[in-house]
C-alpha cells in the first residue's frame, strides 16, 4: 500500500480503537514527553530487566530503538507493536528497520483473547531476538471473560510463566 494510505488507515484505526496509542504515535509533543520519562528512569536506575505492558511496550521499544541502552532482559506483555497498523507506522518512522540493539533477551507474552496483542507475533518483523509466548492471562481464569481482563497487566504479571522468567533471571 501507498505510505499515505497506510498512514490514513493507521490514524483511523488507532484513533477509534486504541486512542492512547493514537495520541502517542501522532502527537509528537506527547510522544517526546512520555519517552523522556522512560529515558530519565533508564538513566537513573539502569535496570537489568525492563517489563512493559501495552502502550508502555511501545514507549520502551521506541526508547531502546533510539538510545543505546544495554538491557539484559526485556519482557513485553499485551504489546500492540505487532498490530499491522502500528507496525506499519513504526516502519515509516524507522525506515523499515524494526530491530533493536542492546537487548540480550526479549520475551513477548500475549493472551489470545487480548485484543491489543491479538496473537500477532513480534518475532520476524522486530527481529529474530524476540521470543513470542501465548499464555492465559490469569485474570481470565478468576473473573468472567471480558476483553479488558485479557489485557490486564496484573493478570499478565500473575502468570506463572512470566513470574518464573523474572525469578529465574533474578536468581542468576
Which tens digit of pLDDT belongs to each residue from 12-70? 666 656 678 888 888 999 999 999 999 999 999 999 999 999 999 999 999 999 998 99
What is the value of pTM for the model shown? 0.86
Is residue 151's pLDDT more than 90?
no
Band (pLDDT 50/70/90 cuts) for residue 93 is confident
Please, which pLDDT band fits residue 11 given cuts at 50, 70 and 90? low
Q: What is the CA radius of gyration of the chain?
A: 16
DSSP SS3 for 39: helix
Whole-number Cα distances in Å, 53 to 7, 76, 95, 109: 24, 6, 25, 10
For 122-144, the pLDDT digits (tens) are 999 899 999 999 998 866 656 55
Amino acid at each position: 500500500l501507498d505510505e499515505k494510505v497506510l498512514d490514513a488507515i493507521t490514524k483511523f484505526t488507532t484513533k477509534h480503537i486504541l486512542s492512547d496509542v493514537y495520541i502517542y504515535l501522532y502527537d509528537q509533543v506527547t510522544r517526546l514527553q512520555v519517552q523522556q520519562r522512560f529515558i530519565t528512569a533508564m538513566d537513573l536506575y539502569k535496570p537489568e530487566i525492563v517489563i512493559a505492558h501495552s502502550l508502555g511496550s511501545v514507549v520502551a521499544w521506541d526508547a531502546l530503538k533510539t538510545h543505546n541502552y544495554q538491557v539484559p532482559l526485556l519482557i513485553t506483555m499485551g504489546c500492540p507493536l505487532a498490530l499491522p497498523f502500528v507496525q506499519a507506522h513504526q516502519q515509516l518512522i524507522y525506515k523499515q528497520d524494526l530491530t533493536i540493539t542492546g537487548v540480550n533477551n526479549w520475551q513477548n507474552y500475549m493472551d489470545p483473547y487480548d485484543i491489543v496483542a491479538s496473537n500477532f507475533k513480534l518475532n520476524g518483523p522486530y527481529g529474530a531476538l524476540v521470543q513470542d509466548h501465548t499464555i492465559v492471562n490469569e485474570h481470565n481464569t478468576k473473573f468472567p471473560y471480558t476483553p479488558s481482563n485479557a489485557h490486564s497487566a496484573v493478570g499478565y504479571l500473575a502468570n506463572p510463566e512470566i513470574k518464573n522468567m523474572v525469578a529465574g533471571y533474578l536468581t542468576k
